[in-house]
Amino acid sequence: MDIVSFITIVFCMLVPSFQASMAVDSILLSNSSVSDSMRIVSKGGSFELGFFSPGNSGKHYLGIWYKNIPIQTVVWVANRVNPIKDSSVAATLTLNATGSLVLTQNDTVIWYSTSLKQVQNPVAELLDSGNFVVRDGEDNNPEAYLWQSFDYPTDTLLSGMKLGCDLKTGLNRRLTSWKTPEDPSPGDFSITVDPRNYLELYIMKGDSKFFRTGPWNGVGFSGSPELTENHIFDFGFVSTKYDIYYYWLSHKNSSIISRYVINQTEEARIRYVWLEDEENWEIYTQKPSDHCDQYNLCGQNGKCVITGSPPCQCLKGFTPKSPQKWSLVDWSDGCVRNKPLNCSEKHTHKFMKLEGLKVPETTHSWLDKTLNVEQCRQKCSENCSCTAYTNSDIRGGGSGCALWFGDLIDIRSFASGGQDLYVRMPASELEFGNNKKLIMIVAIPIAAILCTVLVGGYFIYKVRRKRIEKSKNAQVEIQSNERDDLDLPLFDLPTIAQATENFQENNKIGQGGFGPVYWGKLLNGQEIAVKKLSRISELGLIEFKNEVKFIAKLQHRNLVKLLGYCIEDEEKLLVYEHMPNKSLDFFIFDETKRKLLDWFKRFHIIIGIGRGLLYLHQDSRLRIIHRDLKASNVLLDDKLIPKISDFGLAKNFGEEEIEGNTRRVVGTYGYMAPEYAADGLYSMKSDIFSFGILVLEIICGKKNKGFYIEDSTHNLASEAWLLWNEGKVLELIDKNIEDTCNASEILRCIHVSLLCVQQNPDDRPTIGSAMLMLESEVALPEPKQPGFFHGMGPPKVHTFSSSQKECSSTNEMTVSLLDAR
């Protein structure tokens, strides 16, 4: 080792002369000093130590920066809180006899280091890693440092540094941002390990938690599933009796320079890589990186879904603690259980599996790396205050055990990657799911009983329905079923004529089976959609009014809302709220617009439609069969919440019975159940068929052309069925959701849709069962062949009027068929 001893160079800072500055490989200081113009260069030439002055601050600091990078990038500052303000007198760095580095100016100590022990012959050296170290010159172990700058990081973590705790010395190595780019004094942001938690890092803003990485899971941090092996660096988290720390290391062979920094301006921890060609630092990773990274945004027992609108949701089985605040997008109070855990019944408790998560904060957690997941479940289930568990290490199928106690904090879900979490639930919250599971297992071999069992399931569902509804994050609003003092506004014709500019053709926004729909604007500014029921004049006034009242009573988040009606001069008008996003078909069948619907949005749309249908079939007193469920009858509000429209009309003008036979078939090709199209037999199960088709269309972004098309490859349902049997059904999904998708969830939805479109109505699930299948993990029976006809040709069509075309520019029509028998 080239050692230059006893160097004392004093240089005036007023005339800094880099040419004159001295650069040496390493330095041994002993009762000697380095002055302000002097630079110490590490042996391999990577780093340099000396004095610098950031920007126009006029203040001087002792620091370390990259030697070969043209943009001065300081990685460590010695006297960050105590700058040298007056540069008229030279400052000197001295390694004194007892092994302390002492920075002085005019005999005033500005900064000094401590030494683990006093030694005879201390030496100081800047290593090529950027670590400035003091050693005992007599010690043969070159790594027995008496002091090292790596133990006192500034805002930068270099390769080989440790971010975290030395439990023997109590030293907590944390990064703290510079206050400003011109002021290296400690800013508000820091990144640190909390030794009470297991294997997590926090970004703090002042004393508040700002971002949590999520616990280390053997591969990475739970909150950064995207960051895995890469060609630039390795990283890890060490937790022993003596140490808890995060570290990263450049790949041995990699010449790529990288640094990990906390930056106050960016309010983030950023990893940069140096781009040699562009002579620039490029951001490689950054945290927090989106809204959902904000610490505990959704409160206790909530989870953040970045694609959600709003992003915060309660975990299943929980509802907002303060619904009022929640609806005003203040989620801080989080969620509470629908049904509290009763510890006297702890042995009946079950665990609900949640997938794809950043697992909750580990402050009140317990970790045992030796247990497997089964033992972990056991352990959790024995202690009633244990609320959740999962594998602590996800490698090789998972091992280790992490238990959570109390509320679950700061959870988010990821479109891909993320961890499983098993949350303790009262049996009754999941009971129905298990009943169904049993039912399904029985149902598979004994197809004959399937129908009966499903009917049974339906009744069980009826009984449980209230509770399940409650559990749906308070999203479902059932109101006024029982309210009889209904005062639905009666609009007068001039008002509506004015709003729609005399039913101007330009204002026509749709054409339903019973008449055209117009956009309009009331004098108070409210936008409305007016449906003109031109062809129901045969209906008596009283019946019409009754029907209107009855429709008005159907109030549900997923049904379009009737605002009022109008009867005048043979005109019968229904006034609805206007939906700015038009209907679902505008999105899913449009090349550009469907890009706006990622999988999470689509899934929520599917669930929303299902809830609307559930309400029509089971929750409303009158059990309405929609008979024309299709993409163009599903409207989307500004938050893309689906609203079924045209509800009740089919029932309204049809027969009285719930399951029956009609001479007049109302519906739309492609959505019509075969028994309905062919025999006029309608039931809730024919709506289920349409629902199944709709779900397929939403997932695939393709239109089901209709059952009558002979070439069955043109039929979405049959194509799905064929690919399903080959195990390749994912080939059919819209490529826009391929990336963002949760394949198992998509598969489940396709599976359910195939069950809904089965040929035999009795094989199809009720909407209650279908919703349960979509929203939980009950076992699903294998679907049978979907219902469609071959070689039948288009049935005879009787059109009501000349303007049957939907405005959606598709080839779809609501039609009325004559009895096909």
Is residue 695 within 8 A of residue 752, CB to CB? The reply is yes
| Adjacent-strand bridge partners of 4 | 27
Contact between 263 and ligand NAG (CB under 6 A)?
A: yes
Describe the crossing of helices 599-614 and 767-775 by its angle, rounded to 10 degrees.
150
Query: What sign does the CA torsion over 55, 57, 59, 63 have?
Result: negative
**Part in contact with ligand NAG (CB under 6 A); list of ranges 81-89, 590-598, 615-623, 720-728:** 81-89
Q: Hey, what amino acid is at 417?
A: G
**Cβ proximity to ligand NAG, 368 vs 492, nearer residue:** 368
**Cβ proximity to ligand NAG, 270 vs 640, nearer residue:** 270
Contact between 789 and ligand NAG (CB under 6 A)?
A: no
Helix, strand or coil, per DSSP, at residue 722: helix
Site string for ligand NAG, 92-111 (x = CB under 6 A): ----xxx-x-x---x--x--
502: exposed, middle or buried (Cβ count in 10 Å: 0-12, 13-18, 19+): exposed
**Cβ proximity to ligand NAG, 65 vs 647, nearer residue:** 65
Contact between 234 and ligand NAG (CB under 6 A)?
A: no
Those residues whose C-beta lies under 8 Å from the C-beta of residue 63, and which sit 6 or more positions away, are 49, 50, 51, 52, 74, 75, 76, 77, 78, 184
Question: From the list 117, 231, 252, 347, which residue makes contact with ligand NAG (rule: CB under 6 A)?
Answer: 252
Contact between 284 and ligand NAG (CB under 6 A)?
A: no
Contact between 265 and ligand NAG (CB under 6 A)?
A: yes
Site string for ligand NAG, 350-369 (x = CB under 6 A): ----------------x---
DSSP H or E stretch at residue 238:
strand 233-239
Question: From the list 172, 286, 322, 385, which residue makes contact with ligand NAG (rule: CB under 6 A)?
Answer: 385
Size of the site for ligand NAG (CB under 6 A): 26
Those residues whose C-beta lies under 8 Å from the C-beta of residue 312, and which sit 6 or more positions away, are 297, 298, 299, 302, 303, 304, 305, 326, 329, 331
DSSP letter at 758? Answer: B
Distance in angstroms (rounded) separating the CA atoms of residues 550 and 554: 7
Here the tokens at position 381 are 């289930």
**Part in contact with ligand NAG (CB under 6 A); list of ranges 119-127, 198-206, 258-266, 723-731:** 258-266
Contact between 266 and ligand NAG (CB under 6 A)?
A: yes
Q: Hey, what amino acid is at 293?
A: D
Distance in angstroms (rounded) separating the CA atoms of residues 115 and 368: 37
Given 136, 293, 407, 628, which residue is catalytic? 628
Distance in angstroms (rounded) separating the CA atoms of residues 88 and 820: 103
Contact between 504 and ligand NAG (CB under 6 A)?
A: no
DSSP letter at 615? Answer: I
**Part in contact with ligand NAG (CB under 6 A); list of ranges 83-91, 491-499, 761-769, 807-815:** 83-91
**Cβ proximity to ligand NAG, 74 vs 688, nearer residue:** 74
Tell me, yes or no, if 637 is annotated catalytic: no
Lookup result for tokens 């994912």: 730
Which residue spans within 491-568 are E strands per DSSP? 508-512, 515-521, 527-532, 562-568
Contact between 138 and ligand NAG (CB under 6 A)?
A: no
Contact between 66 and ligand NAG (CB under 6 A)?
A: no
Which residue spans within 496-638 are E strands per DSSP? 508-512, 515-521, 527-532, 562-568, 571-577, 634-636
Nearest to 717 by CA among 764, 681, 762: 764
**Part in contact with ligand NAG (CB under 6 A); list of ranges 223-231, 337-345, 665-673, 792-800:** 337-345
**Cβ proximity to ligand NAG, 185 vs 435, nearer residue:** 185
Closest separation in Å from C-beta 405 to ligand NAG: 5
Site string for ligand NAG, 392-411 (x = CB under 6 A): -------------x------
Closest separation in Å from C-beta 684 to ligand NAG: 36
Residue 342 main-chain phi, psi, to 5 deg: -110, 115
**Cβ proximity to ligand NAG, 106 vs 452, nearer residue:** 106
Contact between 310 and ligand NAG (CB under 6 A)?
A: no
> How many residues in total does the chain contain?
821
Contact between 345 and ligand NAG (CB under 6 A)?
A: yes
Contact between 524 and ligand NAG (CB under 6 A)?
A: no
Question: From the list 23, 72, 86, 537, which residue makes contact with ligand NAG (rule: CB under 6 A)?
Answer: 86
Distance in angstroms (rounded) separating the CA atoms of residues 558 and 573: 22
**Part in contact with ligand NAG (CB under 6 A); list of ranges 342-350, 372-380, 444-452, 796-804:** 342-350
Nearest to 217 by CA among 422, 419, 423: 419
Closest separation in Å from C-beta 721 to ligand NAG: 47
- Helix %, strand %, coil % of the chain (to 5): 25, 30, 45
Here the tokens at position 36 are 């302000």
Closest separation in Å from C-beta 277 to ligand NAG: 20
**Cβ proximity to ligand NAG, 6 vs 18, nearer residue:** 6
Q: Hey, what amino acid is at 615?
A: Y
Distance in angstroms (rounded) separating the CA atoms of residues 691 and 723: 20
**Cβ proximity to ligand NAG, 253 vs 370, nearer residue:** 253
Question: From the list 141, 253, 255, 802, which residue makes contact with ligand NAG (rule: CB under 6 A)?
Answer: 253
Full DSSP string of 138-190: T-S-TT-EEEEGGGS--SEE-TT-EEEEETTTTEEE-EEEEEETTEEEEEEEE
Nearest to 209 by CA among 138, 288, 150: 288
DSSP letter at 805? Answer: B
Closest separation in Å from C-beta 259 to ligand NAG: 10
**Cβ proximity to ligand NAG, 369 vs 623, nearer residue:** 369
**Cβ proximity to ligand NAG, 340 vs 525, nearer residue:** 340
Site string for ligand NAG, 166-185 (x = CB under 6 A): ------------x--x----
Question: From the list 224, 289, 383, 475, which residue makes contact with ligand NAG (rule: CB under 6 A)?
Answer: 383
Is residue 671 within 8 A of residue 689, CB to CB? The reply is yes
Question: From the list 31, 309, 327, 801, which residue makes contact with ligand NAG (rule: CB under 6 A)?
Answer: 31
**Cβ proximity to ligand NAG, 19 vs 253, nearer residue:** 253
Lookup result for tokens 């599903």: 634
**Part in contact with ligand NAG (CB under 6 A); list of ranges 88-96, 352-360, 691-699, 774-782:** 88-96
Distance in angstroms (rounded) separating the CA atoms of residues 317 and 319: 7
Distance in angstroms (rounded) separating the CA atoms of residues 284 and 271: 5
The rounded Cα 447 to chain-centroid distance in angstroms is 39
**Part in contact with ligand NAG (CB under 6 A); list of ranges 259-267, 706-714, 726-734, 798-806:** 259-267
Contact between 144 and ligand NAG (CB under 6 A)?
A: no
Question: From the list 230, 342, 378, 480, which residue makes contact with ligand NAG (rule: CB under 6 A)?
Answer: 342
Contact between 495 and ligand NAG (CB under 6 A)?
A: no
Q: Hey, what amino acid is at 414?
A: F
Question: From the list 344, 506, 592, 802, which residue makes contact with ligand NAG (rule: CB under 6 A)?
Answer: 344
| Adjacent-strand bridge partners of 208 | 205
Is residue 749 within 8 A of residue 604, CB to CB? The reply is no
Contact between 117 and ligand NAG (CB under 6 A)?
A: no
Question: From the list 112, 284, 351, 789, which residue makes contact with ligand NAG (rule: CB under 6 A)?
Answer: 112
Residues engaged in binding ligand NAG (CB under 6 A): 31, 86, 88-89, 96-98, 100, 102, 106, 109, 112, 178, 181, 252-253, 263, 265-266, 342, 344-345, 366, 383, 385, 405
Residues taking part in catalysis: 628
